[in-house]
Structure 1
Amino acid sequence: MFEILLVLHLLSSIAIIGPAFVIPIIRRSARTLGQLHFAFDITTKLAIIPKIGGAMLILTGVWLMIITKTGMSQMWLNVSILLSLLLVVLIDGWIEPRMTKIIKIISESEDRGNEIPAEFELLTKKILPIETATQLLMIVILMLMVVKPF
């Protein structure tokens, strides 16, 4: 049972980390308004995968803690949980509201031809550091889970 939960836990982390690295690349690759619409359509559909993976990650993680009787006794686990909470706050509290605003701007720009609005560039530049920080946080959390340094 432990091995199955561990595999599900790892697959859940991949479901979160994969789209988090791919979605910004897809968005930034758009060069025209039509490509941007297509990119946002794809990334909106992909966004469900990390949400499902996150729920599964929590469930399997708690279940693993119960089975192994680890609880909150491991410092690497406590730090990982705190960083994960910070990650959720950054994504849900900072990135998602701004992405909603960007999507609104893009949808309102349909009558301007195929040129990407300058406001889009400005807003995405503001999001880039936070997206990079969330990606780095994910790497740190993954490393803590694998290496268990303390």
Structure 2
Amino acid sequence: MGLFGLLLALHILASIAIIGPAFVMPVIRRSARTVSQLHFAVNITTKLAVIPKIGGFVLILTGVWLMIITKMGLSQMWLNVSILLSLLMVVMIDGWIEPRLKKIVKILSESQDQGNEIPAEFGRLLKKIVPIETTAQLLMIAILVLMVVKPF
């Protein structure tokens, strides 16, 4: 396996490291029915959030390196669209989803002594995150399709 094969393998593994948790973390959070389950789910998803960040760094690094060694640059439209969608996805996750999740964590820590019922405000905040998470997941699928099919 040459340098190209190694970089491509790392690039694919990094994309899996991003896509996997992005689809699993919302399901874990939404499955909680009590405050203690919710604390556990938030703790797990917070720890899992490190994986996509590392994967994203490796994905960018290997992607740029692959562009350089193949002399592709930004000459392919599918690649330009993929990069644009990736940037949009990062803005959605870091700019919209994470701040809302931090607010939920704050509410949870404040309501720790109020019994085992999940605060109603949590449900409202989670409902605001769901469409953004769904859009980010759809963007991930679109990027993956562009990378595999290379339609234009």
TM-score, reference length from structure 2: 0.98
User: How does 1:33-52 map onto structure 2 within 5 Å?
Assistant: 33-52=35-54
1:10-65 Cα distance to aligned partner (Å, 9 max, x none): 00000000000000000000000000000001000000000000000000000000
Q: Residue 22 of structure 2: which of 17, 20, 25 is its match?
A: 20
Shift of 1:149: 0.2
> Runs (4+) of structure 1 moved beyond 3 Å?
none
User: How does 1:107-118 map onto structure 2 within 5 Å?
Assistant: 107-118=109-120
Instruction: State the aligned residue count.
Output: 150
Shift of 1:122: 0.3
SS of the residue aligned with 1:112?
A: coil
User: How does 1:71-90 map onto structure 2 within 5 Å?
Assistant: 71-90=73-92
User: How does 1:1-150 map onto structure 2 within 5 Å?
Assistant: 1-150=3-152
- Aligned-partner residue type, residue 87 of structure 2: L
- Aligned-partner residue type, residue 38 of structure 2: L
Q: C-alpha separation between the residues in 1 aligned to 2:24 and 2:110?
A: 25
Shift of 1:8: 0.2
1:110-149 Cα distance to aligned partner (Å, 9 max, x none): 1110000000000000110000000000000000000000
Q: C-alpha separation between the residues in 1 aligned to 2:73 and 2:85?
A: 17
Q: C-alpha separation between the residues in 2 aligned to 1:61 and 1:110?
A: 44
Identity %: 78
Q: C-alpha separation between the residues in 1 aligned to 2:109 and 2:143?
A: 35
TM-score, reference length from structure 1: 0.99
SS of the residue aligned with 2:113?
A: helix
| Structure 1, unaligned runs of 5 or more | none
- Aligned-partner residue type, residue 9 of structure 2: V
Q: C-alpha separation between the residues in 2 aligned to 1:53 and 1:9?
A: 9
Q: C-alpha separation between the residues in 2 aligned to 1:16 and 1:29?
A: 21
Shift of 1:6: 0.2
- Aligned-partner residue type, residue 69 of structure 2: I
- Aligned-partner residue type, residue 15 of structure 1: A
